[in-house]
Every structure is written in structure tokens, then in C-alpha cells.
């Protein structure tokens, strides 16, 4: 397994990902019913996204604390964020969200895309680790 010494950018973007995901998860899970109505989305989708984001936030936040990371694990997080953006766009195409729902989906997809890009750049700036 190949490891990298996390660049400061990578560590910071992982922590930002955790903070954004955690805040989003708490909000979506705690207010799923009114948000679903306001966004014009199924309540199960909103609640499911919120519940998913809570352990994800803990996972990615813990990665941000590590000085040395498995390179493949970071790529997994970057790919997961990219998939989240794609799924957000599919949600727009396959549902009929309100204008507020469209704005919310586009805004969070934009933030997640920026986070994924930051993680990718941070990984590129990370140095290979010398593992015994």
C-alpha cells in the first residue's frame, strides 16, 4: 500500500469537508420533513442524505488529522465527492425540485466539487511516505 505525507492543503480540505458534511448532515437529518417540502424532494432522500453524511463527516475528519495517509483512501474520498456531484445533477434531472431546491442542490454540488478539487490538488502536493 502506498502512503503519502499529507500536505497542509490536503489536511485542511479534509477538515473543511468534514465540517461542511457534518453541518449539512445534522441540518438535513434534523429537519428532513420541512426541508423536503421546501426543496420539492422526497423526504426519504433528504433524510437519507443527512444520515449518510454524519458518519462520513467523522471518517473524513479523522483523515484530516493523520500526518500519513494511504494514497488510495484519499483517491476514494475524491471519487466519492465527484460521485456526489454527479448524483446531485442526476437528482436535478430526475426530480422536480422547487426553485429553492434547485438552488440548494446546485450550491451544495458546487461546494462539494470545490472540495474534491482541493483534495485532488492537496494529494498532488503531498509527498510519498517512506514506510518501513
Confidence band, pLDDT 50/70/90 cuts, at residue 130:
confident
pLDDT over 80 at 1, yes or no: no
> Domain locations in the chain?
3-128
pLDDT over 80 at 96, yes or no: yes
- Specify the pLDDT at position 101: 98
Mean pLDDT, residues 101-125 taken together: 98
- What's the pLDDT tens digit per position in 8-36? 999 999 999 999 999 999 999 999 999 99
- The most distant pair of C-alpha atoms in the chain lies apart, rounded to whole Å, by 55
* Closest C-alpha to 56, from 86, 84, 30: 84
Q: Which helix (H) or strand (E) holds 80?
A: helix 71-94
- Specify the pLDDT at position 132: 65
- What's the pLDDT tens digit per position in 32-52? 999 999 999 999 999 999 999
Mean pLDDT over each residue of the chain, to the nearest integer: 97
Integer Cα distance of 37 and 2 in angstroms: 46
Integer Cα distance of 81 and 53 in angstroms: 11
Integer Cα distance of 25 and 124 in angstroms: 28
**Percentage of the chain modeled with pLDDT above 70:** 98
Amino acid at each position: 500500500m502506498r502512503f503519502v505525507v499529507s500536505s497542509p492543503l490536503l489536511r485542511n480540505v479534509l477538515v473543511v469537508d468534514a465540517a461542511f458534511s457534518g453541518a449539512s448532515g445534522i441540518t438535513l437529518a434534523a429537519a428532513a420533513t420541512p426541508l423536503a417540502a421546501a426543496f420539492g424532494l422526497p423526504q426519504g432522500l433528504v433524510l437519507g442524505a443527512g444520515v449518510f453524511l454524519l458518519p462520513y463527516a467523522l471518517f473524513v475528519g479523522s483523515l484530516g488529522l493523520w500526518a500519513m495517509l494511504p494514497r488510495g483512501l484519499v483517491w476514494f474520498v475524491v471519487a466519492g465527492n465527484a460521485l456526489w456531484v454527479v448524483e446531485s445533477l442526476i437528482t436535478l434531472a430526475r426530480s422536480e425540485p422547487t426553485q429553492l431546491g434547485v438552488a440548494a442542490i446546485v450550491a451544495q454540488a458546487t461546494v462539494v466539487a470545490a472540495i474534491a478539487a482541493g483534495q485532488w490538488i492537496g494529494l498532488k502536493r503531498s509527498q510519498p511516505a517512506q514506510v518501513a
